[in-house]
Homo-oligomer: A and B are copies of this chain.
Amino acid sequence: MLQQLFTPSVQHTLDLIGIFVFAISGALLAVRKNFDVFGIAVLAEVTALGGGLFRDLVIGAVPPAAFTDLGYFLTPLLAALLVVFLHPEVERIQNAVNVFDAAGLGLFCVAGTTKAYEYGLGLTASATLGLATAVGGGVLRDVLANEVPSLLRWDRDLYAVPAMAGAGMVVLCIRHEVLTTFTSALAAVTVFVLRLLAMRYHWRAPRAWNRRSTATEVQ
């Protein structure tokens, strides 16, 4: 068991912030896909809670936090409500989705890695599950919206790599017993900044060998 990183109320507030920003990203995609208000609420909930729900099922933490904490459930509804009434004009949506998503990515990958380790998983498995917590909601969001997950597409800026870096920082800190509030926050901010840089400078990952120049894009 790790020492308590944050006071419970600070931890809870950070969780709610992560949930809120992911929910915003889900709700904005729902607006872009022209879903109705209930579809917007569902996509906000799924994006915000899907990754953590998957993590909790895997580590056997049932019922998952998503169903025991009323705040976790209500926060995405608040985000959906805000988006329904205040969503930016269509042209600005994609940028907003991505910035909010980057913040959620950082918060969730740190929280997910830490929780998985607390439940007894190994370091590699904890980092993997932290990554899955961070990207899982977005993958579910894209699957429900019937799109190829952003995560997998070569023509999208780096997304998994920043989260990998963050999850890696957390398990290194755990291994060397220097995981504190400060190092956790540093890992989350690192993910956020790396992701923003990836978007700003269009960092992309290579595709399979010999296909970079000749392949035609699918979808």
Contact = CB atoms under 8 A, between A and B. Distances in A.
Given A139-B144, A153-B35, A208 B122 contact: no
Contacts of A211: 31, 34
A63 B60 contact: yes
A148 interface: yes
A67 B151 contact: no
Contact of A68 (B68, B121, B160): B121
Contact of A62 (B38, B59, B154): B59
Contacts of A96: none
Contacts of A39: 151-154, 205
B122 A68 contact: yes
A169 interface: no
Interface string A117-159: 0011110110011000000000100011111110111100010
A35 B158 CA distance: 12
A206 B38 CA distance: 9
Interface in A142-186: 143-149, 151-154, 158, 160-161
A215 B64 CA distance: 37
Contacts of A219: 33-34, 146
Interface string A200-213: 00001111110100
Contact of A84 (B128, B158, B208): B208
Interface residues of A, number: 65
A64 B121 CA distance: 10
Centre residue among A86, A208, A209 by max chain B CB count within 10 A: A208
Contacts of A19: none
A57 interface: yes
A91 interface: no
B85 A215 contact: no
Contacts of A57: 57-58, 62
Contacts of A206: 36-37
A73 B151 contact: no
Given A32-B218, A63-B58, A63-B59, A152 B148 contact: no
Contact of A34 (B64, B85, B215): B215
